[in-house]
Structure 1
Amino acid sequence: MDRIDGIRAFVAVVDAGSFTRAGDRLRISNKLVSKYVAALEGQQGVTLLNRTTRALSLTPSGERYLAAARRVLAAVEELDGQASAEEGALTGRLRVTAPVTFGEMFVAVLTRDFTRRHPALSLDLHLTDRYVDLAAEGFDLALRIGQLPDSSLIARRIGQTEAWAVASPAYLASHPRPAHPEALRDHLCIRDSNAQTPGRASFLIEGKAVSVPLPGRITVNSAQAVRQLVLEGEGVALIPSFVVARDVAEGRLQRLLPDFARPQLDIQAVSLPQPFVPPRLSAYLDHLRARLSPLLKAPPPGS
């Protein structure tokens, strides 16, 4: 066994929390991961992991070895990256996760363009509105919209958007058009549970951020599902502008309260802290920064 394979397997098990998830991350069987770790322990003459049927934990020797193992892998990654950079090619694999609607509308296209420019690189794009644990699930990067909780993750802003208050003409035909954010408390609101506070929304009123309630009976964890319910006249909703800009331009939805600005939502790329950022990850981030904002600002088709 190559010692680097053992070190890589050991670190993957620690980060993923199990041999099975580590195997998925490394694209090898969990039995092979276990074999690599056992061989590494044999080479070192110490036990690195406590194994039980319920959980894994680091031994004192494993805790000391882990920091050095991460430095070794970072150095190997740096050497590989320098060699590839000198040849002008990006190689390896990136695992990226993004919200479903945003991913379908923008990230898939940007990823396609990136891999066309770098044919020796493979990219695994996983779209989910679930909060993904990068370390446990083996992702290099997560794209997230809105305010992020405090964490040790490294966040880089790659764009901005905002949520528009919208309703259908049919709904507005039977309900008074709100003239002030406070009027939303008198409407049926469709809430998106992906928002940080689904039952409330902030507006800038006279230069100050004011939180107003969004009463309603339906809360759903999909911007597209919220959009569809609003199109069907079920109520008012706050939806990211990139999701509904075309509907507004073509008259299927009407934007409400345009004179009351809302806080901008940062679109951020989040990654694990690491001593060396692989060139393929840096290049993908640069690609997103350069290409995303023009797409977000472009007028919707047919407008």
Structure 2
Amino acid sequence: MDRLQNIETFVRVAQTQSFAEAARQLRVAKSVVTTRIKQLEDYLGGPLFHRSTRVVRLSELGQAFLRDCTELVGRANDIVDQMRDVRGRPAGTLRVHALTGFVLGHFGALLRDFQARYPDIRLELMVSDAVVDPVQAGVDCALQIFPAASTELISRPLFPVRRVFCATPQYLAAHPEPQDPRDLHHHKLGLYSGYPTRDRWTFHRDGGELTTYLAAALLTNSVHLLREYALEHAGIVCLPTLVAGDEIRDGRLKVVLPAYQLSSFWLSAVYAGTSRNAFKLKLFMEHITDAFAKVPPWDGALIEKGVLPKELVEA
């Protein structure tokens, strides 16, 4: 019996609450997972799980066993990765879930440089705007602007995500430009559907706040569709500067209500504290923060032009 392998399998079943999902993530047959758990149960002299056709729950023995096991598995993998790094060749697969809005336009060069530095690390990247639990999704981390789905997860901020309302000069020439956030009610608005504040929008100016509720003519989970909608002169949209920075800088889009700031989110890496790829994940997060720093390049260019203020209002 490979005791450490069986313990790692136990931890994965406990985290996913599913033998089938644990098998998928470990890339083995479900029967292999079942065998490993049975071997461990035989060795310990009691059941680790209560199983039914629908539910897999930890037994009292399993609950007592889990905490030390997760720390053991995480530490074992970390030691192996660090020894590989000492030899100059960190290796293995790193699985990442990332927001579509971040990946398109900014991530290709980052991945190229990361793999040039660590050629033996294989990346698997899943892209969507869905909020995921990295453990349940079988990834090492999720790059997202949303709070962690569980208090058992760690959230490490990487860089701020600013948002602005903007429209084409052609649209603003044909419609009265808003001078106050409440003037937005008189325009066709394109809004992102995934923000946790939903229809409630808070604007900051000179230390004060103004809150209003906005109704969208176009509500979507795609910030890239919102950008296209704006570029068709269809209305005013709210976009992250990481998506609209180039268009604002070259004048195809103009920031509306420049005296007001929306609160900013942070793009964070959300991951389990016992990630089996903790060392590789650390290298990846450091690479992102080194590349984008506290002021990402797309914001730095707009600050330099005077389009964005230097100070940041956070959510």
- TM-score of the superposed pair, with normalisation by structure 1: 0.90
Aligned-residue offset at 1:66: 1.3
Aligned equivalent of 2:183: 183
Question: Is the Cα contact below 8 Å between 1:201 and 1:213 reproduced in 2?
Answer: yes
Aligned equivalent of 2:85: 85
Question: Is the Cα contact below 8 Å between 2:97 and 2:139 reproduced in 1?
Answer: yes
**For the aligned residues, what is the CA RMSD?**
2.3
Aligned-residue offset at 1:150: 7.8
For 1:106, what is the secondary structure of its paired residue? coil
2:96 maps to amino acid: V
Pairing 1:1-303 to 2, within 5 Å after superposition:
1-145=1-145, 151-274=151-274, 278-293=278-293, 294-297=296-299, 299=301
Aligned-residue offset at 1:132: 0.5
| Cα distance change of structure 1 residues 62 and 216 upon mapping to structure 2, 3 Å threshold | same
Aligned-residue offset at 1:173: 3.3
| Cα distance change of structure 1 residues 90 and 296 upon mapping to structure 2, 3 Å threshold | farther
| Cα distance change of structure 1 residues 79 and 24 upon mapping to structure 2, 3 Å threshold | same
For 1:79, what is the secondary structure of its paired residue? helix
Question: Is the Cα contact below 8 Å between 1:155 and 1:268 reproduced in 2?
Answer: yes
| Cα distance change of structure 1 residues 148 and 36 upon mapping to structure 2, 3 Å threshold | closer
Structure 1: distance between partners of 2:58 and 2:134: 20
Aligned-residue offset at 1:18: 1.0
Aligned-residue offset at 1:146: 5.8
Question: Is the Cα contact below 8 Å between 2:133 and 2:148 reproduced in 1?
Answer: no
Aligned-residue offset at 1:49: 1.2
Aligned-residue offset at 1:149: 7.2
More divergent stretch after superposition (121-130 vs 79-88):
79-88
Structure 1: distance between partners of 2:284 and 2:127: 17
More divergent stretch after superposition (7-16 vs 211-220):
211-220
Structure 2: distance between partners of 1:275 and 1:98: 17
Structure 1: 5+ residue stretches without partners: none
Aligned-residue offset at 1:81: 2.8
For 1:124, what is the secondary structure of its paired residue? strand
Percent identical residues: 28
Aligned-residue offset at 1:238: 0.9
Aligned-residue offset at 1:142: 1.4
1:142-189 per-position Cα deviation (integer Å, ceiling 9, x unaligned)? 112266678342222211131111112343233211012221122221
| Cα distance change of structure 1 residues 129 and 55 upon mapping to structure 2, 3 Å threshold | same
| Cα distance change of structure 1 residues 265 and 56 upon mapping to structure 2, 3 Å threshold | same
Structure 2: distance between partners of 1:148 and 1:99: 14
| Cα distance change of structure 1 residues 74 and 248 upon mapping to structure 2, 3 Å threshold | closer
